[in-house]
Chain A
Amino acid sequence: MSRNPGEPVYNLIEVARVALGLTRQELADKVGVHYQTIGYLEREEYSPSLVLAIRIAKSLNQEVSELFSLTPLKKGK
């Protein structure tokens, strides 16, 4: 059975990106996607493929498991 497509993949992309001082465009260029796709990911409106998740985690110096979760993540400091 496939995962419910309406079920979001929670992430800390924005937190990690801002911590590194990167803009959406810069992160998008690093991982090879359009900058709006980064926006969609950060708003948890789009669930990335495993390849993209790994690329993003690598670009943000994080582990995939630290950055993505199927349960809500705390984004505050």
Chain B
Amino acid sequence: MSKKNKIYWFEGVTEKGVKSLLNEEDSKFRGLRPQRNRRVLVLLMALGLVLTSLGSYWPTLKTNMNLSDGTSVVVYSVTAILVIFIVLGGYSLLRISVRSIADAPNELLDERQIKVRDTSFRYAYFAMGYVVLGLLSLMLFGPELKMFQPEGNDGSYLMIATLFAFASLPSMVMAWRERDI
């Protein structure tokens, strides 16, 4: 058996990685397969994205954090990094729960799986339209509403959350919608 592990650079996956998920070779993630568990994961991911997008606002929310103080900056930064890592972890689990179908190249999927994936991308594309609309509205009206300030509240976390959303929405849609993947 020729078994060179082909890397799909564009999709960011390897042949062995996708096949092992598709064939359930890794039994330790079996708990993520049921739709109910996948939906919980999607809700947690959505919460993580909201928290990340609010990252720029934490200092000016109820925390009264003063970012000119060194300790506050450290607490703020560590919390922000932690949330980002939690979201990254959630994204990985989400991909595992949908067996990486959302990122898999056509040649590793059968026609039903391709259809499932393409439908998810279609819905994710529509959902992203609303996310981008919201982001643009914030960018347009945020400064007027004094939502963005140069110190700690420059909207950068909003951009990070949007990028995460771009990457994870197809998997989120698939994990939510599909009964059995």
A interface, CB within 8 angstroms of B: 32-34, 36-37, 39-40, 46, 48-49, 52
Q: Is the CB of B110 within 8 A of A34?
A: yes
Which 3 A-B pairs give the minimum distances between C-beta atoms?
A33-B110, A37-B112, A46-B112
1/0 contact string of B91-135 vs chain A (CB within 8 Å): 000000000000000000011110100000000000000000000
Is A48 a contact partner of B22 (Cβ separation < 8 A)?
no
Cα(A53)–Cα(B135), bound, Å: 46
**New A-B pairs, 9, CB < 8 Å, besides A33-B110, A36-B181:** A33-B111, A34-B112, A37-B110, A37-B112, A37-B113, A39-B180, A46-B115, A48-B111, A52-B111
Residues of B within 8 A of A39 (CB): 180
Measured CB to CB, the closest approach of chain B to A7, in angstroms, equals: 16
Chain A residues, Cβ within 8 Å of B113? 34, 37
Collect the chain A residues with CB atoms within 8 Å of residue B112's CB. Answer: 33-34, 37, 40, 46
* Complex CA distance for A48 and B114, rounded to whole angstroms: 12
